[in-house]
A = this chain, B = another copy of it.
Amino acid sequence: MTVSKTAVADHGKARKEAADDQTAEALQLGELSGLLGYSLKRAQLKIFEDFLRCVAPLQLTPAQFSVLLLLEKNPGRNQTEIANTLGILRPNFVAMLDGLESRDLCTRMRSANDRRSHVLLLTDKGRAVLARAKKLVAAKHEARLNELLGPANRAALLAMLTRIATEF
């Protein structure tokens, strides 16, 4: 242990003076604000929070929405293919499917050509919930993002993110 008690007392004094001033002194981000990874994570958390608010009536997380979209576009693919495509770890994915299946949004069925494998399909209810979710996402979530960034910047941002995801 290599920190002097004097240093702590000094900092404590500075904090107390700040508190006495009734000013909540904001922390200095320093180099953090220049790191792409940090900014990506903060932006992603903000966007996920807004997504959850916009889709709250349907109780869907961004990950669940992604799974439903992928099942709609690729019916009858197996669990491993869907999980791998989304980069979701197997135990997490199984738990997520249990949740979606218990709400009758999707279903697992034994594959006709490989009895050891399960294929995934949207149910009619899953299709209806997904259609409503798409409308909420477009009308609220994506519309607000478009308003903040402008369509050209939004497109440029999407292109750079896709480049990082596929080429980095």
Interface residues of A (CB under 8 A from B): 1-3, 5, 7-16, 19, 26-48, 50-51, 62, 66, 69-70, 72-78, 81-82, 85, 87, 104, 107, 109, 111-114, 119, 121-125, 134, 137, 141-142, 144-145, 148-149, 153-154, 156-158, 160-165, 167-168
**Complex: A27 Cα to B13 Cα, angstroms:** 60
| Among A72, A76, A78, residue most surrounded by chain B Cβ atoms (within 10 Å) | A76
- Nearest residue in B to A164 (C-beta to C-beta)? B43
**Complex: A163 Cα to B11 Cα, angstroms:** 32
- Nearest residue in B to A19 (C-beta to C-beta)? B113
- From B10, B15, B32, B40, A66 is in contact (CB under 8 Å) with B32
Contact of A121 with B8 at beta-carbon distance under 8 Å, contacts A46-B165, A168-B46 already known: yes
Can you list 14 contacts pairing A with B, beta carbon distance less than 8 Å?
A3-B122, A8-B112, A8-B121, A10-B76, A11-B76, A11-B77, A15-B113, A27-B70, A32-B69, A32-B70, A36-B158, A41-B48, A42-B161, A45-B87
Copies of this chain, complex-wide, total: 2
- Nearest residue in B to A14 (C-beta to C-beta)? B76
A15 proximity list for chain B (CB < 8 A): 76-78, 111, 113, 119
| Among A2, A28, A40, A70, residue most surrounded by chain B Cβ atoms (within 10 Å) | A40
Q: Taking the nearest CB of chain B, how far is it from the CB of A36, in angstroms?
A: 6
Q: Is the CB of B123 within 8 A of A165?
A: no
A81 proximity list for chain B (CB < 8 A): 27
